[in-house]
Structure 1
Amino acid sequence: MAKRSIGVWVAGALLALGWCAWAPFAQAQDRSLTVTSWGGAYMAAQREALFKPFAAATGIQVREAEYEGELPKIKSMVETNRVTWDAVDVTSGDAVKGCDDGVWEKLDYARIAPREGFMAGAALDCAVGSVVWSMVAAFDERKFSASGPQPRTIADFFDVEKFPGPRALAKRPRVNLKMALMADGVPAGEVYRQLATPEGVTRAFDKLNRLKPHVKTWWDGGGRPVRLLDSGEAVMTTVLNGRIAYAIGQDKKPYRIIWDGQVWDLDLWAIPRSTRRLDQAYAFLKFASDPAILARMTDHVSYNPAHRDAVALVAPAMRPYLPNMPENFANALQADARFWAARRDELDVMFANWLARK
């Protein structure tokens, strides 16, 4: 992926954004906070695009902590009044559950940014959207004739007669059931209404039944799908958009993304309740929500900014790899955290039993 010089950008953009106004705040208060995220390349991108510029603008030192989504750990911190994390990158599911359980502060958007500036579902009561990521289908374009048709839709992914070859799917039901319904002709806006009924669940499994003999691998690790394409064990797979975008853009692999039928979700920033650094945490969320900062993230990782105004600031070279660019977003389904919180156990059992049947 193309990257621009962040040092030059920081010097000019922070002044333009008015962040020098935070200097008196930084001098008068504890000049640090702990920001918790997922580690790896994603956190490295946050470090360059967000943590370092924030520290430069405010004088507030960012201490980094990594986790793997352990909401119970944060809940224990809150309940024992031993909160050591001040801002946490969370999934939409944990944002909702943590809010319901009293883990997160209820956000005052007057201290962050107007709620209406964020895309739908990104400005929650207890968490503010950061990036959009998605599960997509992808294929090895060498496996299909350049002079003939190539897969373009989620229905094509399920069409083994028109596009033969082994498939790979995640070893869990959430995305599979949704994609199956969309491949069977259900519009994205109707998928959850279908899955809420026994008939809709049956329809999804029937569609998966027809594909099942051609699914040679049920993967359970985010890096596995690209390796399956690399080895030829699959000609098409579902995969996280960031993983396949890196393979295409950085590693120059001959793969293509099918954006039709993508299932997208958000990562958001939340503040643990009763943190002693609430002002610093709000300063961080305000900075992290600025469209220019969010757009800068896309130089380092192929996840969309969750603020509408950031879309126009994304470098043109990055647009083909980002989930909610208008050209990629025509038939996209947002993950519904509350739906899966209510139905997860039931559908997980159904899927495990279905998968075990030969």
Structure 2
Amino acid sequence: MRLSLIGAVAVLIAGVASTANAQVKVLTYDGDWGDALAAAISESPDLPVIVERYDGSLDAASSTASLVDAETDAANLMCDDGPAQPVDPALAQAFPRSLTPDVMHQCGVGYLVTSLVLATRSDGPDSWVAFFDAERFPGARALPRGARGTLEIALMADGVALADVYALLETPEGITRALDKLDALFTQTQIVFWDTPDDAVALLRADAVAAAALPSVHAAHIVQQDQQELDTSSAFQISFTGQIYRVQRLVVFPAATSDQETVRRVLTSVLSAKGQALLAKALLAGPVNPEAWDIMPASLAPLLPTALSHDITVTGLADNADFWADHGDDIEARFATWLDAHEQGTSPALP
């Protein structure tokens, strides 16, 4: 019999007997993100928890922390090369299948989802295939200045099945196919490669581009702010089909064994429907507990990656951090050469 979400968390930390009332340290980021996580933890009263801030790097992660807030790449490094504590992988089977995939990690628990999505005006392209059709949907396009994300989008637009994207990108032929797809878009319209999400937001708001690949949090803010300013439906829309998603994790460190009961309560609070709803509304990121949708405004569903209507397990592509750790340097170098040739106004020489 499968355990509930909270039931699975309850058995996450096992082994050494807990020491009651010891203070547990949780590391998270500065700013709104860390504030929201601290608020979710505080929903459970009388927790002996210290919430401290760090810059997200492995070097800054304190060995005295029990739980460390980390995005996928940093979480993997903490697990593979750092002090993170392995979690029994069999626990992943205890989570209901309706949950977002990859909630359980070998060294921690996922608690929010963000993604790279298609953002456009309401009359713009609504899929990556349409994003590459500038004849039907005129106007410039905005993409991240880098291979990661951009090449996956190109392959999805070229008809590659989600399950085959990274296997294909592992080959020189797959990279060539993605760059050829981008070349075809270049022949139709201008491609603007952005350095920061704020750059992409500015381009979209100024109508300098007709469509942009944009982090979901930034895309959601555009729509939400537009709705508030216009007091009506937004002029912008988000397509989550083919979203490239990442799971934000609370990584378990060895200090968690000093008070397993408090650590369990922290995770329970963050993963509860109430905690998840608080986080989702504050950060416009996707909750991993589907019960959160029962107490969240229906207006948030079109904005967040894990809304049930988006069916992320079927239509989303999990960003493969291990793939990019193994192959990223070579692929990014090849992409940079190709991009430099385009920005210099010459045709790239592809092997």
Which has the higher mean CA deviation after the structures are superposed, 274-283 or 128-137? 274-283
The two structures have a TM-score, normalised by structure 1, of 0.79
Which residue of the partner structure matches residue 353 of structure 1? 337
Q: How far did residue 293 of structure 1 move?
A: 2.1
Say if 2:221 is the partner of 1:246.
yes
Which residue of the partner structure matches residue 171 of structure 1? 145
Cα RMSD after superposing both structures: 2.9
Distance in 2 (CA, whole Å) between partners of 1:210 and 1:128 is 41
Which residue of the partner structure matches residue 98 of structure 1? 78
**Aligned counterpart in structure 2 of residue 322 of structure 1, from 286, 296, 304:** 304
% identity of equivalent residues: 27
Change (3 A) 1:205 1:216: closer
Output the amino acid matched with 2:71: T
| Equivalent residues of 1:26, 1:60 under 8 A apart | no
- Specify every segment of 5 or more residues in structure 1 that has no aligned partner in the other structure, as ranges: 1-24, 78-82, 145-149
Change (3 A) 1:116 1:107: farther
The two structures have a TM-score, normalised by structure 2, of 0.80
**Aligned counterpart in structure 1 of residue 267 of structure 2, from 279, 285, 296:** 285
In the alignment of these two chains, the number of paired residues is 316
Q: How far did residue 349 of structure 1 move?
A: 0.7
Distance in 1 (CA, whole Å) between partners of 2:319 and 2:92 is 25
Say if 2:180 is the partner of 1:198.
no
Output the amino acid matched with 1:130: Y
Distance in 1 (CA, whole Å) between partners of 2:192 and 2:159 is 25
Q: SS of 2:254's equivalent?
A: coil
| Equivalent residues of 1:182, 1:191 under 8 A apart | yes
Q: How far did residue 266 of structure 1 move?
A: 0.5
| Equivalent residues of 2:18, 2:258 under 8 A apart | no
Which residue of the partner structure matches residue 36 of structure 1? 27
| Equivalent residues of 2:65, 2:255 under 8 A apart | no
**Aligned counterpart in structure 2 of residue 62 of structure 1, from 50, 74, 87:** 50
Q: How far did residue 116 of structure 1 move?
A: 4.6
Say if 2:323 is the partner of 1:339.
yes
Which residue of the partner structure matches residue 129 of structure 2? 155
Change (3 A) 1:228 1:285: same
- Specify every segment of 5 or more residues in structure 2 that has no aligned partner in the other structure, as ranges: 1-16, 228-233, 343-351
Q: How far did residue 107 of structure 1 move?
A: 2.9
Distance in 1 (CA, whole Å) between partners of 2:298 and 2:331 is 40
Distance in 2 (CA, whole Å) between partners of 1:273 and 1:27 is 14
| Equivalent residues of 1:27, 1:59 under 8 A apart | no
Distance in 2 (CA, whole Å) between partners of 1:171 and 1:300 is 28
Output the amino acid matched with 1:51: I
Q: SS of 1:318's equivalent?
A: helix
Distance in 1 (CA, whole Å) between partners of 2:94 and 2:198 is 36
Q: How far did residue 115 of structure 1 move?
A: 4.0
Q: How far did residue 112 of structure 1 move?
A: 11
| Equivalent residues of 2:64, 2:255 under 8 A apart | no
Output the amino acid matched with 1:217: V
Distance in 2 (CA, whole Å) between partners of 1:27 and 1:239 is 45
| Equivalent residues of 2:27, 2:68 under 8 A apart | yes
**Aligned counterpart in structure 2 of residue 236 of structure 1, from 211, 216, 220:** 211
Q: SS of 2:283's equivalent?
A: coil
Which has the higher mean CA deviation after the structures are superposed, 107-116 or 189-198? 107-116
Which residue of the partner structure matches residue 223 of structure 1? 198
